[in-house]
Structure 1
Amino acid sequence: MVGLSAAQGYATVTGKPAAVLVHVDVGTQGLAGAVHNVDRARAPVVIYAGASAHSANGELKGSRNEWVMWTQDIPDQPAIVRQYMRYTGEILSGRNVDKVVMRALQIAQSEPRGPVYLWARREVTEEEVDESIMQRPSEVAKWPVVAPSALSPDVVTTISSALLTAKFPLIITSHLSRNSPSAIDPLLELSTLLSIPLFAHCPSTTNIPYSHPHFAGLSYGFDPFVLLTKADVVLIIDSDIPFIEVKGNKPSEDARVFVIDGADALRTTLGYWHVDAELIARADGTLALQQLVAEVKRLDSENKLGVLGSDSVRARAADIRAWHDALISKLDDAESAFPASPAVFTTANVLGALRRTLIAQDIHKDTLVFNEGISNYVEVFNHLRPDAPVGYPQGGMAMMAPGSGALGWGLGNAIGACLGERELRKQGGRGYKCIVAVVGDGCYLFGVPGSAYWIARRYETPFLTIILNNGGWKSPKMAMLGVYPNGLGSTVHGDRLTVGFGPSVPDYSQIAVAASSGWVYGRKVEKREELEDAIREAVRVVVEERRSAVLDCMLEGIA
């Protein structure tokens, strides 16, 4: 679980595939929910697993010689993970292993990107081949990644015309900049040209800078979004879940809806998926937005429409800016409003203090955050306010979220990101001075901290962990209330619902200290007056001493 999560973090930072080696069927099962995560996040990862020998009497080198080779031999080992993989392949000989690996890499890095699974039985790994086979020149250049595609001319004109004539257009995205950080530039240019508000729904990365006046908010579907119901043209680009209709968040019946996705426009790996749309197109997000920017300018100029720079566009810009300013003001107020009890904090208190500390130390533009807040996803985005996708040349705090549903993602991803940014710096590229994992207390346990912090110590991958500790599993209670808001469970304490960890909870920070033989700086933060000092010291330890730090921050418990 930690290893595959780390591979995902490495691939995220470097843009290059990572490899994970596991032991036969049980090691494949040990990958756990990370298999789901790398699939849904479209992370290019090569997973290699051995398999039990198929000979038992010494006919071949590597024949079975341990009892466990019988019990670990199952009829279809790749079936454990096949439906999550872009490709599964058996290596049948060492003589062509390079060809098999290159095919796997080509598929993993082509859209829809994602994990691949290779496996080989023991006799194959023990096969003796001529040394020249292993020394022959690499042919990777002859196995290129499939080039990105653009929108057809008719589609470009249709969408551009709709945006030009819209009274209130809206753009929704979730992972536009995940593969290409530069996609943010044409997105902002299109938004500025026509004063289009930008909304992030269930985002897995930073797609829209919080500081941009057209940023209209972020949601994971729990709260109403009035701009969506107001919009007459909606452009959905690279978004797995653009809205949740049962929550009442959906476009009006008369709205024109367009969907663009660079990989799997119909989400064929999901059991059910649908958006009422006028047009669905498969195209790379960066290319599509560049096309739309150019076409909007051409149509407005050649047809003398006079929309760009018009009073209506300027008025819409003022309205969006007012909406954005009100949002930021509301977030500021939440960060300074502490709960009545002096012994606990809100998520806003903790993350507001972290953001201010990073700004004060002038490292906020060199910080990468992994957001596994789950029930606090939105708050982590809102109160850290990232401004850039991972790898954006102009810098800014970057943030990633799982974009998937298997918990325990954050710690391993932070380890892999540290390894990745170290490699980037060695190559003269831009790394991150501070990597942060913000996790719930449940996610912390799912992240296998005993392994994670030993690995962090072993490979010297220092990162800061902020544990948002509400004493249990808040998300299951929220899910229950989503169906039965006034049911019996709505009136009882979390402990009665078995989602509370009380009355005694682990000392989470000391798990990390013990796992790392004291290398990790760990501290439980329970008092209001300790919060900012604790965060400053933890950041200092990570940035200056190059050690990991874990702060266990006590929030209001599950009611």
Structure 2
Amino acid sequence: MYTTASVLFKTFADAGITHAFVNWGNDHPAFLEELKRERVESGQTVVEIVTCPHEMVALSAAQGYAQVTGKPAAVIVHVDVGTQGLAGAVHNVDRGHTPVLIFAGAAPQSSDERLKGTKNEWPMWLQDVPDQPSIVRQYMRYTVQIQSGKNAGKMVMRALQIANSEPKGPVYLWARRETTEEEVDPSIVEEKLDVTRWPPVQGPGLSPAAIDSIVDALLEARFPLIITANSGRNPKTVPLLSTLSNILAIGVFTSCPSTVCIPWTHPNYIGLSFGGKNDLLDHADVIIVLEADIPWVDSKGNKPLDDARVFVIDADPLKTTFGWSHVDAELLCKADPEVALSQLIEAIEGPGGQSLEAEKLSARQARLAELRSAWTNSQETAEGVKSLAADQSTPTVPYLLSTLRNAVASQTPNKGEKTLWINEAISNYPFTWSHLRPEHPGSMIASGASSLGYALGAAVGASLGGLVSRKEYDLITAVVGDGVFLFSVPASAYWMARRYNTVRPMPLPRPHVGAFPRGN
């Protein structure tokens, strides 16, 4: 016997979803029966089920999984209360532009005994709220009710198509119990759904006029600056940004970064901030804001020069999901960063491209070298201060983080090169980015948002995702602060880590650190 639940799991698998992070309830009998059928008939389920004792951890794990693999996972929760249990992780996957498919059951629509799946337990009256998806709708790229098993597969594919299109993010599907238990003909389940016919929208590029304006400005500038934060969510942009920075000697500054946008050792990487004073703005005459939600905070004395030429390149340059956001800019360009960077490089180095005169290039390089040296020297100095207390009892954050960095480098097989840092240090975000020195695309990730409690669940999901994507991490380390460890529902997170073999303690510095080595 096949049901709507059969169609859903089959479609998940066909679409490339390998894991479902689940918290079961009384609306899921059809799903549990389908899993049993799959195990009996083939010895395994088409999607790996990861049981999650708390929904917040489930969605955080799905976020970590998606950030590592670049592909969405599924999260299955229980009616309205399970949807509410997703908590602040909903904010994180939205603001962090992370594609996740969330499915929630819903209370049966009646107590008519003629209907399979009808209300038969007292909580089902209390769980029957007027508008369940409204709990999360404003954070979703798409919400839809599945009302029949016959078209459930196509509803899933539409949702994934939207989730994977920029700006990427979560989608929410829901169905009442009568629908999930609806019996469907085997031909519906066996139907071949060509997933290649459901591609995400290809990101647009810069217009020819925008390319000309930006390249001309970069060539004429005295001190050009690229401010970025999130371009590294697509790992392919990291070498492109490095190349563009190199060929025109452009400084790169990260503002509230969520991932590695440029290697820490890059000679033109000259600073970062989480809302603090960016002194470089007082000198930059051309600024490219590349995939940055908060390039500067005006009220903190941060503002470009009045005559600075500012260009914004972003999948959503107006930040349409923010109540307020504005950048005084010459051009707002809705473009995919990978495409835009490739276009700018081609316009400079390709046939008919314009090069920077040697003297000007040399002068820019010298200035960047000076700024880079000052920045890195300040970090080295800070790491050398063990404690600000006279009795040396309390280590400074830079000293603690550099000790952690060195310990990981000395105790992992690949000298820290295959370590994934999960950063939720919050008040110490700037220190964590500066002193852990992430080098490779994707080697440090954060939620990209402000709801605390992401790190531990994300570490579990990242470990599972690392296996799927063959990242072969030696170590996954969550660095947390500001109460994040407790907000992460540690009992649930560590239960999952142990259950799915994603945790193995190592002798690392203990304060505010949770270690999640890759399981065997």
Q: 2: distance between equivalents of 1:128 and 1:286? A: 45
Q: Is 2:460 the counterpart of 1:460?
A: no
2:156 aligned partner: 101
Return the match for 1:323 from 368, 371, 374: 371
Return the match for 1:73 from 116, 125, 128: 128
Q: Is 2:361 the counterpart of 1:313?
A: yes
Structure 2, unmatched stretches of 5+, are: 1-55
2:439 aligned partner: 387
1:165 aligned partner, one-letter code: E
For residue 59 of structure 1, report the CA deviation from its aligned partner: 2.8
Return the match for 1:242 from 274, 281, 295: 295
1:216 aligned partner: 270
For residue 525 of structure 1, report the CA deviation from its aligned partner: 4.8
TM-score w.r.t. the length of structure 1 is: 0.79
Map 1:102-181 → 2, pairs under 5 A: 102-178=157-233, 180-181=234-235
For residue 523 of structure 1, report the CA deviation from its aligned partner: 8.9
Q: 2: distance between equivalents of 1:213 and 1:524? A: 30
Q: 1: distance between equivalents of 2:62 and 2:86? A: 11
1:193 aligned partner, one-letter code: I
Q: 2: distance between equivalents of 1:542 and 1:292? A: 39
Q: Is 2:345 the counterpart of 1:293?
A: yes
Q: SS of 1:364's equivalent?
A: coil
Return the match for 1:353 from 397, 403, 417: 403
Q: 2: distance between equivalents of 1:321 and 1:280? A: 30
Percent of aligned positions that are identical: 51
Task: Check the 8 A contact 2:426/2:482 in 1, yes or no.
Answer: no
Task: Check the 8 A contact 1:408/1:447 in 2, yes or no.
Answer: yes
Return the match for 2:247 from 193, 199, 202: 193
2:162 aligned partner, one-letter code: I
Q: 2: distance between equivalents of 1:219 and 1:164? A: 26
1:512 aligned partner: none
- CA deviation vs aligned residue, 1:147-183 (integer Å, no higher than 9, x gap): 12111111100110011001111100010110x2111
2:485 aligned partner: 444
2:329 aligned partner: 277
Return the match for 2:93 from 29, 32, 38: 38
Q: SS of 1:89's equivalent?
A: strand
Q: SS of 2:225's equivalent?
A: strand
Q: 1: distance between equivalents of 2:61 and 2:128? A: 28
Task: Check the 8 A contact 1:363/1:434 in 2, yes or no.
Answer: no
Q: SS of 1:144's equivalent?
A: coil
CA, structure 1 residues 134+298, in 2 after alignment: closer, same or farther (shift >3 Å)? closer
CA, structure 1 residues 94+245, in 2 after alignment: closer, same or farther (shift >3 Å)? same
Structure 1, unmatched stretches of 5+, are: 391-397, 464-519, 548-559
Q: 1: distance between equivalents of 2:98 and 2:106? A: 24
1:90 aligned partner, one-letter code: Q
For residue 235 of structure 1, report the CA deviation from its aligned partner: 0.7
CA, structure 1 residues 444+307, in 2 after alignment: closer, same or farther (shift >3 Å)? same
CA, structure 1 residues 289+523, in 2 after alignment: closer, same or farther (shift >3 Å)? closer
Task: Check the 8 A contact 1:18/1:46 in 2, yes or no.
Answer: yes
- CA deviation vs aligned residue, 1:219-272 (integer Å, no higher than 9, x gap): 0012x21111211110111111111111111101100000001x2121110001
Q: Is 2:392 the counterpart of 1:342?
A: yes
Return the match for 1:6 from 61, 68, 86: 61
1:26 aligned partner: 81
1:317 aligned partner, one-letter code: Q
Q: SS of 1:177's equivalent?
A: helix
2:408 aligned partner, one-letter code: L
Q: Is 2:467 the counterpart of 1:422?
A: yes
CA, structure 1 residues 524+182, in 2 after alignment: closer, same or farther (shift >3 Å)? closer
Per mean C-alpha deviation after superposition, the further-off stretch among 36-45 and 186-195 is 186-195
Task: Check the 8 A contact 1:164/1:296 in 2, yes or no.
Answer: no
Map 1:475-494 → 2, pairs under 5 A: none
1:472 aligned partner: none
2:43 aligned partner: none
Task: Check the 8 A contact 1:160/1:292 in 2, yes or no.
Answer: yes
Return the match for 2:309 from 250, 256, 260: 256
CA, structure 1 residues 251+445, in 2 after alignment: closer, same or farther (shift >3 Å)? same
Q: SS of 1:259's equivalent?
A: strand
Q: 2: distance between equivalents of 1:191 and 1:522? A: 39
Aligned residues: 461
